[in-house]
């Protein structure tokens, strides 16, 4: 069975496992006060020389998001996200569980636009005091649809945030893929645009863990309390730090992401050539295509993938590449896609 179900279905890159094995018996201080966490911090900081960040490691994306958002917002403040944003749909109400409203705005290709932010802010202030107060914009980059914010989009979001006194937070669960999608910006630019963000490890070759980067000075203070309060401060914090040593000390972070993106784009190209309708044009490692019931039945016998939604005549399905995906698997997937198409056409005749 070919595995294209997600990018968190296999352990981790060898660089990371080597560190875990090698340091298994070392004694470290707890709660991210150890030297491994500090080394990881230095390696990440080196990627964004323009800004000094406070860097913390958290076990997973939902926990990172809720810890970050709750640390920034006061009780009456809310976060703007697009309706398709991960915190709005796929985190089981975790942000609301911290007491804060997620204000949804309509996505454009999976993205929040500056115009949408301006509009919803104005509406929220119409009857001053009666609606939740928007204080933060949450974006995912890459988005939940595999699309990527452009430099211009980032700049206009930064502008509107400055205008309205909002914080800009980026969920970087798939930041590696975004950065390797051909954009003209780097982690250093991200650090200039965002007040805080996290760099995803779990979906980029790590065994677990995300690296939270707080750039805005006003947001740095006492973050450790919010982590502890949220159950997000690991006793063996160095295990998380080591993930990012493995990802950043030798460029594996980018290498993994690049490979994920290239192989996924190959799928998209092939699917397109085979006349599978694209649900959305992705630039990263998640590919969404429409298949008929026939095609679906054939493909699911041979490939593990996710159904994204049901359509009138079939499904939108998602293929995802991971750090573990190989060219050989893409070739095999290509064969299956061709056969599914052939079968379906045969049947149609």
Q: For residue 64, which of 284, 252, 226 has the smallest C-alpha distance?
A: 226
Q: Which of 156, 186, 230, 249 binds a second copy (CB under 8 A)?
A: 230
Site size with a second copy, rule: CB under 8 A: 78
Nearer of residues 250 and 309 to a second copy, judged by Cβ = 309
Q: Please identify which residue in the block is written with the tokens 């996200």.
A: 81
Interface positions, 289-328, toward a second copy (CB under 8 A): 304, 324
Contact flag: residue 267 with a second copy (CB under 8 A): no
Question: Minimum Å distance from CB 182 to a second copy?
Answer: 26
Interaction residues for a second copy, span 236-255 (CB under 8 A): 236, 239
Provide, rounded to whole angstroms, the least separation between the CB of residue 50 and a second copy: 28
Of 339, 144, 342, 177, which is closest to residue 265 (Cα–Cα)? 177
Choose among 325, 274, 282, 273: nearest CA to 303: 325
Q: How far is the CB of 209 from a second copy (least distance, A)?
A: 10
DSSP 278: B
Contact 99, 68 (CB under 8 A): no
Contact pick of 37, 94, 147, 181 for a second copy (by CB under 8 A): 94
CB of 74 to a second copy, least distance (A): 7
- When asked if residue 130 is in the footprint of a second copy (CB under 8 A), the reply is yes
Q: What's the start-to-end Cα distance of the chain, in Å?
A: 29
Nearer to a second copy among residue 64 and residue 142 (C-beta):
64
Radius of gyration in angstroms for the set of CA atoms belonging to the chain, rounded to a whole number? 21
Q: What angle separates helix 14-22 from helix 237-248, to the nearest 10 degrees? A: 140
Least distance (Å) from a second copy to the CB of residue 77? 8
Residues 208-227 interacting with a second copy (rule: CB under 8 A)? 208, 222, 224-227
**79: preceding bond cis by omega (within 30 degrees):** no
Which residues inside 62-81 make contact with a second copy, applying CB under 8 A? 62-67, 70-71, 74-76, 78
Instruction: Pick the binder of a second copy from 39, 51, 89, 249 (CB under 8 A).
Output: 89
- Binding positions for a second copy, 144-203, rule CB under 8 A: 202-203
How many CA atoms are closer than 13 Å to the CA of 95, on its beta-carbon side?
28
Q: If DSSP codes are grouped into helix, strand and coil, which group holds residue 2?
A: strand
């Amino acid at each position: 069975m070919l595995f294209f179900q997600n990018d968190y279905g296999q352990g981790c890159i060898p660089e990371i496992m080597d560190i875990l094995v090698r340091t298994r018996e070392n004694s470290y201080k707890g709660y991210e006060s150890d030297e491994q966490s500090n080394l990881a911090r230095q390696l990440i900081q080196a990627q964004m020389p323009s800004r000094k960040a406070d860097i913390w490691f958290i076990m997973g994306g939902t926990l990172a998001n809720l810890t970050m958002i709750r640390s920034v917002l006061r009780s009456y403040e809310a976060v703007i996200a697009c309706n398709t944003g991960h915190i709005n749909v796929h985190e089981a109400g975790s942000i609301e569980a911290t007491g804060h409203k997620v204000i949804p705005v309509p996505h454009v290709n999976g993205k929040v636009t500056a115009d949408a932010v301006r509009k919803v802010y104005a509406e929220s202030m119409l009857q001053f005091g009666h609606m939740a107060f928007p204080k933060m914009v949450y974006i995912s980059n890459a988005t939940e649809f595999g699309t990527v914010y452009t430099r211009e989009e980032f700049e206009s979001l930064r502008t509107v945030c400055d205008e309205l006194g909002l914080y800009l937070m980026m969920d970087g669960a798939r930041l590696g893929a975004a950065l390797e999608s051909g954009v003209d910006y780097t982690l250093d630019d991200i650090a200039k645009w965002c007040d805080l963000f996290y760099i995803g490890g779990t979906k980029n070759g790590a065994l677990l863990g995300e690296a939270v980067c707080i750039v805005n000075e006003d947001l740095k203070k006492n973050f450790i309390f919010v982590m502890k309060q949220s159950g997000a401060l690991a006793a063996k914090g160095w295990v998380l730090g080591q993930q990012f040593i493995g990802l950043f000390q030798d460029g594996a972070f980018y290498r993994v992401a690049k490979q994920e993106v290239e192989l996924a784009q190959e799928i998209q190209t092939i699917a397109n050539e085979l006349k599978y309708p694209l649900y959305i044009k992705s630039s990263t490692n998640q590919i969404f295509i429409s298949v008929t019931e026939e095609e679906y039945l054939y493909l699911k016998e041979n490939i593990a993938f996710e159904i994204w939604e049901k359509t009138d005549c079939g499904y939108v399905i998602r293929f995802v590449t991971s750090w573990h995906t190989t060219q050989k698997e893409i070739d095999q997937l290509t064969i299956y896609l061709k056969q599914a198409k052939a079968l379906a056409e045969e049947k149609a005749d």
